Amino acid sequence: MMAILPILKDVLPLAVSLVERPGDGEAKKEEVKEIVFSLFDDFGIDLSFDDDIFEHILDYAIDFVVDFFNDRVWNHG
């Protein structure tokens, strides 16, 4: 688990930025998850736990990144 955290730290902000558009919050979250799972598959990163657990972790991590961007990046003029 700890080995994937640095990867997520780099991948999630990029994926969140790539799918950003007005509205469609849940759809965008699913797109981010697809990007992350696709990258993990492409680079042969094998999770040592169930995908459902990882998806649950991703839900919180995506929300954290989006909240950070909303507070400090996207809403500042």
- pLDDT tens per residue across span 30-74: 999 999 999 999 988 888 888 899 999 999 999 999 999 999 888
Q: Tell me if 16 sits within 8 A of 32, measured CB to CB.
A: yes
Q: What is the pLDDT of residue 76?
A: 60
- Percent composition of the chain: helix, strand, coil (DSSP 3-state, to 5): 75, 0, 25
Type of residue numbered 50: D
What residue spans define the domains of the chain?
4-74
- Give the residue from 75, 33, 38, 37 showing the smallest Cα distance to 58: 33
Does this model's pTM top 0.85? My answer is yes
Rounded distance, CA 31 to CA 74, Å? 19
